[in-house]
A and B are shown apart, each in its own frame.
Chain A
Amino acid sequence: MTKKKLLIKNALLIDPKNEMEFIGSLLVEKGIIKEIFNKPSPNYDISDCKIIDCKKNALSPGLIDMWVFAGEPGYEHIETIEDISNAAKASGITSIACRPDTNPIIDEAELVQYIIRKSEDKSQINILPIAALTKKHEGKNMTEIGLLKEAGAVGFSDAYNEINNTNILKNVFTYASNFNAQIMQLPVSDLDKFGVMNESEISMRLGLPGIVKISETIALERELRIAHHTKVKYHSMCISTSESYDVVNKFKDMSDKITCGVSINNLKLNENDVAAYRTFFKVKPPLRSENDRSYILENLNNDTIDIITSNHEPQGTESKRLPFEEAAYGAVGIETLLAASLSLYHEGYISLSKLMKKMSYNPAKILNLENTGSLEVGKKADLILVDLDQPWVCDADKLTTKCKNTTFENQKMQGRVLLTIVNGKIIHNLID
């Protein structure tokens, strides 16, 4: 007979909300965190418990990845919800927010419901749809933000499409604030239309059209001003330059509704990685200079950067095996997010609980997910157990996702997920 309760003992508990780490144990019942003990082996009647001895490995809320291309609907040949769920659960991600720029674009409540139904059927992790801000991402007519939100959209984004008309942008933001909807935007402008990598000495030497930094700053400042003016909840998804960091910082001083994120690629890599036209390093936002990377990284321990995302964007070989200018943007990231992020902790840039906060508690707060992302009594048991030190090498051929376009090929990684629990149910287990 299966035991009703789950006692996870002798763990290094990561409490991202309070930024604390302590040895303790935790009781799960009916999918909910029932009790937290600050002892490795609590005095508790264990007759009805399945017991897991964590051997002092780290137990954290599962990761919430806020910007993921999940392929459905329309791009099932490169990614599916089922595949991504399998990749995510083995990589410590218990929730993903999926991008609306699919085919069709997620601009109707029925499409949000489709993704939710599909997830219930095919996914063991939480799939959270993001809906479009404007219909067909054309920047003209706003979507039914109220109905979409009611259907389950956690955020609203026009993804890589700029809303050119400032009047429309202002109205959309104002209307979104009416429903307390979360805007999730990328700083894109038509200044970067022809560029394919960061504009710098390297792009010039390679003869590649560059993406100027101000393209990002201009888009960011424009939208932040309107967001601040309309008092809408605004999240800037992936910033990549030191200037953008300063801009966000300034606006965060004025408003508590503004948040910001960064892609793990921009924390780990820089433009030099493009080297001799390596298309796997063609990503959006582009890999920037080492100065930009280190500036953001050195400020990671502050609260300006709220979240870290994998920016998972699968691309088939055929769209990457092209001359650099013609190759598609993007890199898969689901399976490397945790280990690549942990390296920032191992290298001393950030504390463990703070790092996990940016990938669990903060995303949950931004996406208004009240039940997950935290190690608190009464929250859903979406948990991961991580061996922080276990080494492995990223081998593209061994990735679970259909596409293998990783930026971390052959990189030495540190940190393996031993156990993944969603809703109190163990869905990935390397212990037993």
Chain B
Amino acid sequence: MNKKNKDSLYLPQLTHLLGIEKLSPQDVNFIIKKSQGWFEKNKNKPQKTDILRGKTQINLFFEPSTRTQSSFELAGKRLGADVINMSLKQSAVAKGETLIDTAVTLNAMKPDLLIVRHYSAGASELLSQKVDCSVINAGDGSHEHPTQAILDALTIIYHKKKIEGLKVAICGDILHSRVARSNIILLSMLGADINIVAPKTLLPNNIDAYKVKTHLDMREGIRDVDVIMMLRLQNERMLSSYIPSAREYFQYYGLDEDKLSYASKNAIVMHPGPMNRGVEIDTSVADNVQSVIKDQVEMGVAARMAVLETLASG
């Protein structure tokens, strides 16, 4: 049997999706392939299916999120699941209930899928040890955001037809970014060359442990790349002396027309959102033809449908 046939028969045995680091390349390829299928089906007027009929999906968000939460909600609903949204910023947490108490309570409701966003690294891992259902990490502290990496890969493949051999620059606050970690792991797993662009204060000390090249000069870092991924810069970074001001940050690390001109002519520009226009990205770049930021949102639903389907049937 040749390799292609082997891959097409591969079925991932996944209980949870906690991070890209725990996935094999086959797992990733499987999910991407499934995502592509959903993307095609969603292209026209999306139809509701009943793949997850009778299944309960709880979106448990300890951090505010519009895009990821609604994307998971839509994905679940299109697959026919019953979706419950819980934003715990105000309710239980404020009353002193711990993450595990919350998990035990929710577990008693017998959900099938638990989507978790939490401000602490490892929170979804901890939850997965305490509940009986599948847990999907929708972002845990500065650790990982696996579905974002999958939808980013999907977006890149959509525009570039491949990932292997592409030059990708990931730019901005790498230190605090779960998006960066998941993307670095996934893209290097699929054979991309990765440049990291950041000021030293926003660069983790041991970033060399990953297969990446680091650049302090943004023009150098994005020279001839095929993909530019910008990261969101949180406003609080200015207050704790990571950078002096938005103005200076934009001057050296904001993506504007001039810096973009150093990249390959057909380079695509990505951003996980929400954007700080004028801080990490210039408005004209965010909205120009090279920007695929809107596609990322569309891919997000397809990627999450694929993940939900894979876990629910795994």
Q: Which residues of A contact B (CB under 8 A)?
A: 199-201, 203-210, 212, 276-277, 318, 321-326
The answer to whether B98 and A207 touch across the interface, beta carbons within 8 angstroms, is no
The 25 sampled A-B contact pairs (Cβ below 8 Å) are: A199-B206, A201-B206, A204-B205, A205-B181, A205-B209, A207-B141, A207-B181, A208-B121, A208-B122, A208-B142, A212-B205, A276-B122, A276-B125, A277-B121, A321-B100, A321-B126, A322-B98, A322-B99, A322-B126, A323-B99, A323-B121, A324-B120, A324-B121, A325-B120, A325-B121
A323 contact from B122, B205, B207, Cβ within 8 A: B122
- B118 touches A (CB below 8 Å): yes
Of A199, A204, A212, A276, the most chain B CB neighbours within 10 A belong to A204
The distance in angstroms between the C-alpha atoms of A93 and B146, with both chains bound, is 49
Contacts of B274 in A (CB 8 A): none
Are B98 and A204 neighbours in the complex by a CB distance under 8 Å?
no
B304 at the interface (CB under 8 A from A): no
Q: Which residues in A have their C-beta under 8 angstroms from that of B143?
A: 206-208
Contacts of A326 in B (CB 8 A): 120
B50 at the interface (CB under 8 A from A): no
A318 to B141, CA, bound (A): 21
- Quote the shortest CB–CB distance from B115 to chain A (angstroms): 17
CB closest chain-B residue, reference A277: B122
Q: Could you tell me the distance in whole angstroms from the C-beta of A415 to the nearest C-beta in chain B? A: 33
Contact A323–B123 (Cβ < 8 Å)? yes
Given A207-B140, A207-B141, A323-B126 contact (CB < 8 Å): yes
Q: Chain B residue with minimal CB distance to A324? A: B122
Query: Separation in Å of the B279 CB from the closest CB of chain A?
Result: 23
Q: Write the B108-137 contact mask toward A (1 if CB under 8 angstroms, else 0).
A: 000000000010111101100000000000
Contact: A210 with B209, CB < 8 Å? Answer: no
4 cross-chain pairs, A with B, having the tightest CB-CB distances, nearest first: A207-B143, A277-B122, A323-B120, A207-B121
Quick check: is B204 within 8 A (CB to CB) of the other chain? yes
Give the number of residues in B that approach A within 8 Å (Cβ atoms): 23
Cβ-closest chain B residue relative to A325: B120
Residues of A within 8 A of B205 (CB): 199, 204, 210, 212
Give Cα distance in the complex from A318 to B96, angstroms: 11
| A318:B125 contact, CB within 8 angstroms | no
Given contact pairs A207-B141, A323-B126, A323-B141, a sample of 7 additional A-B residue pairs in the complex whose CB atoms are under 8 Å apart: A204-B206, A205-B209, A206-B122, A276-B122, A322-B126, A325-B120, A325-B122
State A18–B140 Cα separation when bound (angstroms).
Answer: 55
**Is B178 in contact with chain A by the CB < 8 A criterion?**
yes
Q: Which residue of A lies closest to B122 (CB)?
A: A277
A207 / chain B contacts, CB cutoff of 8 Å: 121-122, 140-144, 178, 181
Please determine whether B21 and A277 come into contact, CB atoms closer than 8 angstroms.
no
Contact A204 B204 (CB under 8 A): yes
Provide the residues of chain A in CB contact with B209, threshold 8 Å: 201, 204-205
Contact A206 B121 (CB under 8 A): yes
Q: Provide the residues of chain A in CB contact with B120, threshold 8 Å.
A: 322-326
Q: How far is A204 from B212 in the complex, measured between Cα atoms in Å? A: 14
* B129 to A, closest residue via Cβ: A276
Residues of B within 8 A of A212 (CB): 205
Q: Are A200 and B99 in contact (CB under 8 A)?
A: no
B278 → chain A, closest Cβ, in Å? 28
Name the residue on B nearest A200 (C-beta): B206
Chain A nearest CB from B235 CB (Å) reads 17
Residue of B nearest to A194 (CB): B240
- Residue contact B125 to A277, C-beta cutoff 8 Å: yes
1/0 contact string of B144-187 vs chain A (CB within 8 Å): 10000000000000000000000000000000001001000000
Residues in A with CB closer than 8 Å to B144 are 207
Q: How far is the CB of B143 from chain A (nearest CB, A)?
A: 3
By beta carbon, the residue of chain B nearest A196 is: B121
In the complex, A411→B123 CA distance in Å?
27
Are the CB atoms of A321 and B98 closer together than 8 Å? Answer: yes
- List residues 61-98 of chain B with CB under 8 A from any CB of chain A: 98
Asked whether A325 lies within 8 Å of B141 as measured between CB atoms, the reply is yes
Bound together, the chains give a CA A322 to CA B123 distance in angstroms of: 8
B299 to chain A, nearest CB (A): 24
Question: Of all chain A residues, which has the CB nearest B98?
Answer: A322
Q: Which residues of B contact A318 (CB under 8 A)?
A: 98
Q: What B residues does A206 contact at CB under 8 A?
A: 121-122, 143
Q: Chain A residues near B123: list those with CB within 8 A.
A: 323
Least Cβ distance of A302 to chain B in Å? 31
Most buried by A among B21, B121, B122: B122
Q: Which residue on A lies nearest to B130, using beta carbons?
A: A321
Q: A57 CB to closest chain B CB, in angstroms?
A: 42
CA distance A276 to B209 in the complex (A): 18
**B198-223 Cβ-contact flags toward A at 8 Å (1 or 0):** 00000011110100000000000000
Whether A323 lies near B118 (C-beta < 8 A) is: yes
CB distance from B237 to the nearest CB of A (A): 13
Near A by CB (< 8 A), chain B positions 216-250 give none
In the complex the two chains form, what is the Cα distance from A277 to B178 in whole Å? 16
Judge whether A277 and B126 touch: CB under 8 Å.
yes
Chain A residues, Cβ within 8 Å of B141: 207-208, 323, 325
CB within 8 Å for A205 and B21 given contacts A324-B122, A325-B141: yes
- CA distance in complex: A67, B247 (Å): 49
* Residues of A close to B181: CB separation below 8 A: 205, 207
Residues of A within 8 Å of B206, CB to CB, are 199-201, 203-204
In angstroms, Cα B205 to Cα A200, docked, is: 7
Q: Is the CB of A204 within 8 A of B140?
A: no
- Give min CB distance, B63 to chain A, whole Å: 12
A277 to chain B: which residues have CB within 8 Å? Answer: 121-122, 125-126
For A324, what are the chain B residues with a Cβ–Cβ distance below 8 Å?
120-122
B217 to chain A minimum Cβ distance, whole angstroms, is: 22
Query: Which residue of chain A has its CB nearest to the CB of B145?
Result: A207
Nearest residue, chain B, Cβ from A321: B100
A204 to B144, CA, bound (A): 11
Contacts of B98 in A (CB 8 A): 318, 321-322
CA distance A324 to B204 in the complex (A): 19
Q: CA–CA, A108 to B181, complex, Å?
A: 50
A324 to B140, CA, bound (A): 11
- A-side contacts of B118, CB under 8 Å: 323
Contact partners of A321 in chain B: CB under 8 A = 98, 100, 126
Q: List residues of chain B with CB within 8 A of the CB of A323.
A: 99, 118, 120-123, 126, 140-141
* B residues near A325, Cβ cutoff 8 Å: 120-122, 141
Chain B residue nearest in CB terms to A278: B122
**Are A204 and B207 touching (Cβ within 8 A)?**
yes
Residues of the B chain whose Cβ atoms lie less than 8 Å from the Cβ of A204? 204-207, 209
Q: What A residues does B207 contact at CB under 8 A?
A: 204
Q: How far is the CA of A236 from the CA of B3 in the complex (A)?
A: 61
Which chain A positions have C-beta within 8 A of B100?
321-322
Give the docked Cα–Cα distance between A277 and B130 (Å).
14
